[in-house]
Amino acid sequence: MSIAWEIHRSKRKTLSLSVTRTGTVLVKAPLYLNEETIERFVHSHESWIEQQLQFWKERTERERALMLTPEKIAVLKQRALVDLSSRVQYYASRMGVSPTGIKITSARTRWGSCSWKNSLCFTYRLILLKPEAIDYVVVHELAHIRVKNHGPEFYREVAKYLPDYRSRIALLKEEQRKIGL
Whose CA is closest to 53, among 2, 105, 90?
2
The answer to whether residues 87 and 37 belong to one domain is no
> Which pairs with CB-CB distance under 8 Å and at least 24 residues apart come from 115-118?
116/148, 118/145
Task: For residue 1, tell me if it sits in a domain.
Answer: no
- Whether 135 and 89 map to the same domain: the answer is yes
In terms of domains, do 58 and 74 share one? no
Which residue range is the domain that position 17 belongs to?
Answer: 6-66
Same domain, 102 and 170: yes
Q: What is the pLDDT of residues 135-177, one digit of tens each?
A: 999 999 999 999 999 999 999 999 999 999 999 999 999 888 7
Q: CA-based angle 107:56:38, to the nearest 5?
A: 115
Same domain, 84 and 170: yes
Q: Are residues 19 and 88 in the same domain?
A: no
| Judgement on whether residues 62 and 90 belong to the same structural domain of the protein | no
pLDDT per residue as tens, the chain (181 positions): 567 889 999 999 999 999 888 888 999 999 999 999 999 999 999 999 988 888 888 777 766 666 778 888 899 999 999 999 999 999 999 999 999 999 999 888 889 999 999 999 999 999 888 999 999 999 999 999 999 999 999 999 999 999 999 999 999 998 887 766 6
Are 25 and 91 found together in one domain?
no
Beta strands per DSSP E along the chain? 6-10, 16-19, 25-30, 101-105, 112-114, 119-123
Last residue in a domain, options 66, 95, 115: 66
Which of residues 18, 42, 66 is at a domain's end? 66
Q: Which residue, 66, 83, 105, sits at the end of a domain?
A: 66
Q: Are residues 11 and 87 in the same domain?
A: no
The domain total for the chain is 2
In a domain, 10, yes or no: yes
